[in-house]
Every structure is written in structure tokens, then in C-alpha cells.
Amino acid sequence: MFEILKLAPLFFGLEVQEITILINKVLHQIQHFSNNEVLAFSGDRIEKAMILLEGKLKGEMIDYSGISLKIEGLDPPQMVAPAFLFGPQSIFPVNLSALSEGKILIIYKNDFTSLLSSDSRVLTNYLNIVSGKVQFLSHKIALLSYKTIKEKIASYLLNQLNPGSSSLIMNQSQKGLAEMFGVARPSLARTISKMEEDKIIRWERNRVIILNLKSLELILGHLA
Amino acid sequence: MFEILKLAPLFFGLEVQEITILINKVLHQIQHFSNNEVLAFSGDRIEKAMILLEGKLKGEMIDYSGISLKIEGLDPPQMVAPAFLFGPQSIFPVNLSALSEGKILIIYKNDFTSLLSSDSRVLTNYLNIVSGKVQFLSHKIALLSYKTIKEKIASYLLNQLNPGSSSLIMNQSQKGLAEMFGVARPSLARTISKMEEDKIIRWERNRVIILNLKSLELILGHLA
DNA sequence: TCTGTAGTGTAACATTTGTGACACTAATAT
DNA sequence: ATATTAGTGTCACAAATGTTACACTACAGA
């Protein structure tokens, strides 16, 4: 019944039998949902942990005008909004609806904390998940706080660069990098070209050579 | 000895006696530090929970050029980087040094998870702290993701506006708003002027009247 | 009331980025 | 080997923002 949970990050390191025993020790429900069913609205209070067992869900973030901003699919054995289960704003960050029929494992908050207390592996896994979100978002904020394309490039290169090395292998196309930075590809190419002109870097297709590390660092230094 | 921890968010809802018993049930150390002592470098692995009992600490985020970007003070009974204790990048996000002599409560990770398991209030408190960080950072990212000044204005106004009202009292000067948005004041004024021209808003010194709410919302809707 | 400070409005010019387009190169699929 | 797709380089023009400067208005303090 819970075989899929062997693959869930929350239960990493546990066998199916162990998982089943843990879950059967706490109050839980199996909720069935049908195709196109709305499971939760953005802003609704979250009362329970929800882990997808079967089927497919969709999370939509809605903006002021009603146009959906971001759509994200959820497959088993993903947990719904793990980092919003606790905290001062424990509300659904998205509209949650079904893309198929399926099943969700439901554990109310108090029972979920009991589950966490009962096995240090599960507790550590959950703390890793939530803390990992913080670390991911912190990194994203650092990236978003760079305003100019030159800063974004410098930051990216300095982050990818191994200490003591002066070149790096690119595993990302310029097009992909532009998407990642949220900028226009031709603008990215133009800025790279300018940095090449200025003899800061040499940009080959799969490799970037740092010609003047100090200049690269100074680009970011102007942030203060 | 642990009286100050009565005020720590981690131990919210517990009495000093309860806190003392819990801490004495796990392995812990009291680390003394002296003025100006460096306690950790940015990038060092985090092995232990650290809660400040006495004294004052300073966290500095250093950028590539060596210029410090952000300085933050820590007072008792704050916990050092609570959201970085677990997770895939469990490293100090800052240089940590002392502004005075003092004492820190040290609990290694495994013992810290034992502490969390042993009292559901402490566990819930810790989950609230870390999850709250996610929620705070998510909100910050939403703000940072607006690229144009018009979007920032629209977002700010829609956030400040009481439902059903069509005007709001400004408790922030344009100059202050420009600083908050990280944009040039004349550029902000120009954009406001344009929105007035377009009959979206009327901007008086201490009051803004929304003339066309739909247009304001559409500004944000163009994000997709 | 007068003076100094803070905030505001606007202009000219400079800089950066976006957009749409096209030609060329490299990689992948048939 | 050829065709298709993806990525790259660059251009002209448009849009948005920054910078510097100055005049004017509002507010607070002496």
C-alpha cells in the first residue's frame, strides 16, 4: 500500500515495512480525489501533511488579475508544500487541483509531529527538506539581488569556478543561462561580448577562461 | 543557568525548569568566547546547534571583493543560523565573530534531534522557526521578482490598499519608497507621473487615489 | 517671520536591456 | 550523408532606467 513511499525524500533510508509500521502507528487517512477536483485554494490554512500516493496534481500560483503565474506538477511520492505545514503563515501558497484521479496520504499536524518524533531518520529527512528550501531560496535571493546582467554573469562564474583554477567547463548553454537569469538572450550575448572586449573573460562554446579575476570580483564589489 | 532560554523562540511555552531538564538529558557543552574571537567562517560546515547565552556576536556576509555586505548582531537568546543546521548546504552563511566575551550553548546535531524528539513543543517551535524562514524568503522573492518600477508601484499599492477602498494614506515619502524599491527617485517620480497621465492613479502628497483598479492589477498580470 | 532642510517635479542626456529579425554554426536525428 | 533543431552572434530600434542638475514647494526649527 505504501510501496511508493520508499522513494519519498521524507522516508529516505527506510524500508517499506518500516514505513508502513510508522504510518500505522499514527492517525492517518487515505483521501481519494477525482480528475479536475480542487483540493485547496491559495491562502487556505494548512491543517495536515499531504503526500501524493497515486495520480497527478497541479499547483497554480494566481496573481492579482487572476492570470496564473506558475504551474507546477506534482507526482507521487511528492509531499504538498512541505515547508508551509508549520510556521507563522501556514497557508497553501498555491491553488491545488487534480490532473487525474488518485490518492493522498493525510496526516494531521499533531500526528505528523508524532511521526517525526518516533524515528530520527524521518525527523532528519524532514528537517533536511525544509532547511534545504531555505538554502535554495537564500541562494535565489542572492541571484535576484544582482541587477545588471554583468553582475549576474560575474556571480555565476565566480560560483562555478574551482579555487585556483582559471577556467571552467560550461554545462549550460547561453540560452539556458539567459533563462536562468531571467534576461533576454541577445542581451546576455552582448554583455558577454563586452566582457570579452574588456579582456575580463574569454567565452568558448563549452568553456570559459577567466582572464582577469580581479575585474570579475570588482564587478560584484560595486554592490555595497 | 539557562534562565535566558525562557525567552528563546525554540523553547517557547516551556518553563526554565523544563528547559533545564531537557538540556541535561542530552550531551551539551558551554563554550566560552572572548571579545573579537572568530567563532566560524562563512562556508565552514555546521556540526552543532549554537544558542547564545551571554554576550554579543556579529555575523558578517562577505562578498568576493572582501567588502562586507551585511552586518547583523546576535543577542541572547538567539540561535545561530537555525535554518542552516540541516539541509544539503549545512554551512555557515556568514563569518561569525564576537563583539564581547560570552557563552554559547552547544549541542551536536544528533543530540539536537534527540532534544527535538523528546518534547513536541520544542519540535514544533523549531519547525515553526525554519518554516517561517521559508515563508519570509518566499515573500521576499515575490517582491524581488518585479523588474519594472511600474510593477513595484502596483504591487506596493495593491498590498497597502484595504479591500473595498479606493484610496490610501501614504506613510512613506517618494524618496523613501525609491530607496525601498532600490530605484532612482527621479525615475520613480517619472513612472508615477506616467501612471497619473494614464489615469490609473492620482498621487497627492500623503494620499494616493486609485482611479482604475483593473489597470493596476493588469500591470502585475503581465508578468506571466 | 525667516532660514534651513527635506521632498518633489522635470529636463536633458547617458546607459542598459528588451525585442524582433536574420545569418551562421554546431549538434542531433534520420 | 542530409535534414532538422538548437544555439550563437549581431544588428537596428524601442523601452526603461540612471544620472545630474535645477527650480519649486512643504515643513520644521530658531
The per-residue DSSP string of B17-29 comes to HHHHHHHHTS--E
Q: Could you give the ipTM of this predicted complex?
A: 0.77
**How would residue B63 be classed by pLDDT, with cut points 50, 70 and 90?**
low
Q: Say if residue B71's pLDDT is above 80.
A: no
pLDDT of B43 strictly over 70: yes
The answer to whether the beta carbons of residues B30 and B107 sit under 8 Å apart is no
Q: What is the pLDDT of residue A172?
A: 87
Residues of B with Cβ-Cβ distance to A182 under 8 angstroms: 147
Residue B87 with chain A: CB contacts under 8 Å: 127-128, 130-132, 134-135
Q: Say whether B69 sits in a helix, a strand or coil.
A: strand
State the amino acid at position A79 in one-letter form.
M
**pLDDT, tens digit, 9 for 90 and up, residues B122-147:** 999 999 999 999 998 887 787 787 88
Position A65 scores a pLDDT of 44
Task: Tell me if residue B78 falls in helix, strand or coil.
Answer: coil
- Structural domain ending residue among the three candidates B142, B176, B203: B142
For the segment B178-200, what is each residue's pLDDT rounded down to a tens digit?
A: 988 889 999 999 999 999 999 99
A43 touching chain B per CB within 8 A:
no
How far is A133 from A66, CA to CA, in rounded Å?
Answer: 27
* Nearest Cα to Cα of residue A100 among A55, A46, A167, A51: A55
**Gap from A174 CA to C17 C1', in Å?**
16
Tell me how far apart the alpha carbons of residues A11 and A15 are, in angstroms, rounded to a whole number.
Answer: 8
Side-chain half-sphere CA neighbours of B157 within 13 A = 30
Among the candidates B92, B108, B142, a domain finishes at B142
Statement to judge: residues B159 and B67 lie in one domain: no
Residue B189 contacts strand D, CB under 7 A: no
Q: What CATH code is carried by the domain that includes residue B131?
A: 2.60.120.10
pLDDT band of B207, cuts 50, 70, 90: confident
| A80 and A11 together in one domain | yes
Is-contact B124 B14, C-beta < 8 A? no
pLDDT at position A62 is 63
Pair B65, B81 in one domain: yes
Only one residue has cell 480542487, namely A38
Check: CB of residue B127 under 8 Å from CB of residue A87. yes
Which cell numbers hold the place of B43?
562556508
B20 and B73, same domain (yes or no): yes
Q: A3 to chain B nearest CA, in Å?
A: 25
3-state secondary structure of A36: coil
- Give residue B68's pLDDT band: very low, low, confident or very high (50, 70, 90): low
- Assess whether A210 and A121 both reside in one domain: no
pLDDT at B138: 85
Count of the separate structural domains present in chain A: 2
Min Cα–Cα distance to chain B from A217, Å: 6
What share of chain B in percent tops pLDDT 70? 94
The candidate with the shortest Cα–Cα distance to B109, out of B46, B197, B18, B33, is B46
**B134 and B173, same structural domain?**
no
pLDDT at site B109: 95
Name residues of chain A where pLDDT drops below 70.
62-71, 221-224
For residue B145, the chain A residues in CB contact (below 8 A) are 144
| Single-letter amino acid code for the residue at B49 | A
Instruction: Look at the alpha carbons of B4, B9, B13, B17 in this order and tell me if their dihedral is positive or negative.
Output: negative
Same domain, A109 and A78: yes
> Could you tell me if A43 and A96 lie in one domain?
yes
Q: Output the pLDDT for position B144.
A: 80
Q: Which of A110, A135, A150 to mutate to test the interface with B (most CBs of B within 10 A)?
A: A135
> Would you give the DSSP letter of residue B62?
E
The 3-class secondary structure across chain B, one letter per residue, is CCHHHHHCHHHCCCCHHHHHHHHHCCCCEEEEECCCCEEECCCCECCEEEEEEECCEEEEEECCCCCEEEEEEECCCCECCHHHCCCCCCECCCEEEECCCEEEEEEEHHHHHHHHHHCHHHHHHHHHHHHHHHHHHHHHHHHHCCCCHHHHHHHHHHHHCCCCCCEEECCCCHHHHHHHHCCCHHHHHHHHHHHHHCCCEEECCCEEEECCHHHHHHHHHCCC
Cβ–Cβ under 8 Å, residues B205 and B172: no
**Are residues B27 and B121 part of one domain?**
yes
DSSP secondary structure, A160-192, as one string = HSPTT-SEEE--S-HHHHHHHHTS-HHHHHHHH
The pLDDT of residue B65 is: 46
Q: pLDDT class for B69, splitting at 50, 70, 90?
A: low
| CATH number of residue B211's parent domain | 1.10.10.10
Residues B103 and B201 in one domain: no
- Burial of residue B158, with CB atoms counted within 10 A of its CB: 0-12 exposed, 13-18 middle, 19 or more buried: middle
Cell, residue A200? 575580463
Helix (H) or strand (E) holding A196: helix A185-197
pTM for this prediction: 0.81
The answer to whether A183 and A177 are in contact (CB under 8 A) is no
Tell me the mean pLDDT in the region B65-78: 72
pLDDT, mean over chain B: 89
Q: Looking at chain B, how many residues does it have?
A: 224
Determine the distance from the C-alpha atom of residue A27 to the mean position of all C-alpha atoms in its chain, rounded to a whole number: 29
* Structural domain harbouring B103: 3-142
Last-in-domain residue among A141, A157, A184: A141
If asked whether residues A129 and A217 sit together in one domain, one would say no
- Of the listed ranges A68-77, B16-25, B80-89, the least confidently predicted one is A68-77
Helix (H, G, I), strand (E, B) or coil at B58: strand
Nucleotide nearest to B172 (CA to C1'): C7
Residues A167 and A121 in one domain: no
To test the contact with chain B by mutation, choose from A62, A121, A133 the residue with the greatest count of B C-beta atoms within 10 A, namely: A133
| Cell 511520492, located at residue | A77
pLDDT at B33: 95
